Amino acid sequence: MPTATDSFRFSSDDHPADEAFALYATLYSRGSDVSRGEGRFFAQVRGWRLDKVLLFERRLSGVVHARRERIAGDGFDHFVLTHVLDGQVRLEVPGPPRILGPGTSVLLDTRRPMRTEHDDARILTASIARDVIEAAMGPAGRLHGQLLAPPDNLVLADFLASLARHGDALGSAALPALGRAFVDILSSVGGDAARVGREDQRRDLSRREAVRRFVIPRLADRSLSVEAIAAGAGISRSSLYRLFEKQGGVARFIQLTRLDALRRVLDARDPAAPNDAALAERLGFSSPAQMARLFAEAYGDSLQAYRAALADKPRDDPGVSKRRWDGWLGELG
């Protein structure tokens, strides 16, 4: 059976009124400076980890998200697409403030300053890897603050809403195909610049996906080589090196794929999961010690601390959700 999509939930209604905002602000602390806005605060969030896209359905009021000083140091390198279903969002990017009402979508670059304030808003947001955005819409430099309005964005909005509606039922095997569909639909709202001249980006995206499909079932093979991956994915060695140059090289890509698989095992909290020695063997680490060291370097927690933080807590405990989401965000770079 396909593995279920990673997900989490948060609702301010589940917590005492004097604690709910602080818990919400902590949940978002990796990506935003969160402060109180006008009126009563409430927040309901559902999130799903798709393929190079994180999708969220949120109901928010009385809350502000800002990215300003932090953009110089937090390393974020992705886009956020926001679509307003109900209520309104006040947006501040370079230029006059804008009020986004129902039916409007906007693209925001996490490398650049932004501020959003929510007033009884129901929104869909998608955090999208930069290479996906560029494959769909062309050069990223012109996209920050770009509005997408009806009728151009209607199919995109329907697609996001459908993903949110069925997010809990999606299996991981379906995600690459849905990711390709997302690129095609997003490109349809980007104007002529997105429709021509981006075949190189799309080709590279497709090739990286082919590499992932080849590597994931072979993680246990510690001798997995560039030659084997290139042949298995049907590309040249030089193309393979170029595809993963920005990610630190092919070996780093394999290492991060192993770490992602390890974190998924830990997040599942299966009492029958293998011990560390068996996990290291199954995922292709050279030893349990290497596995523990690389995990701590990647996620800022020891394996022991990560397990302890998850133990005996509901899946949607705010602390558990924060760890899961922080891991997702780190994978978008």
The pLDDT value given to residue 191? 58
Which has the minimum average pLDDT: 116-130, 142-156, 267-281?
Answer: 267-281
Among 104, 220, 91, residue whose Cα is nearest residue 151: 104
- Whether residue 191 is contained in a domain is answered as no
Residue given tokens 């994931």 in the structure block? 216
Pair (261, 174) in one structural domain: no
Residue (of 321, 266, 331) closest to 298 by Cα position = 331
pLDDT at position 214, please? 94
156-166 confidence digits (pLDDT tens): 999 999 999 99
Domain contains 196: no
Pair (75, 179) in one structural domain:
yes
Which is nearest to 330 in space by CA: 54, 2, 20?
54
Give φ, ψ of 285 to 5 degrees: -75, 150
pLDDT higher at 241 or 312: 241
Comparing 294 with 320, the larger pLDDT belongs to 294
What ranges make up the beta strands (E) of 3-77? Answer: 6-11, 33-36, 42-49, 53-61, 63-67
Count the helices and strands in the chain (H runs, E runs): 13, 10
pLDDT tier for residue 227 given thresholds of 50, 70 and 90: very high
Maximum CA pair distance of the chain? 60
Instruction: Give the structural domain span for 143.
Output: 6-183
User: Is residue 305 situated within a structural domain?
Assistant: yes
Give 169 or 35, the one with higher predicted confidence: 35
Assess whether 146 and 226 both reside in one domain. no
According to the model, what pLDDT value does residue 9 have? Answer: 92
Query: Do 209 and 151 share a structural domain?
Result: no
Confidence of residue 1 (pLDDT cuts 50, 70, 90): very low
* CA atoms of 19 and 12, how far apart (whole Å): 9
The residue that leads in pLDDT, 298 or 123, is: 123
User: Is residue 170 located within the same domain as residue 212?
Assistant: no
- Asked if pLDDT for residue 271 goes beyond 80, the answer is no
Cα separation, 37 vs 117, in Å, equals 7
Kindly state whether residue 268 falls inside one of the protein's structural domains: yes
139 and 241 both lie in a single domain: no
Mean pLDDT of 204-232: 91
Is 195 inside a domain boundary?
no
The CATH number of whichever domain residue 84 belongs to comes to 2.60.120.10
CATH number at residue 238: 1.10.10.60
Is pLDDT at 5 greater than 80 in this prediction?
A: no
Q: Which residues pair with 33 in a beta bridge?
A: 66
* Token pair belonging to 188: 């349809």
**Across all residues in the chain, what is the average pLDDT?**
89
Count: domains in the chain: 2
pLDDT at 249 over 80: yes
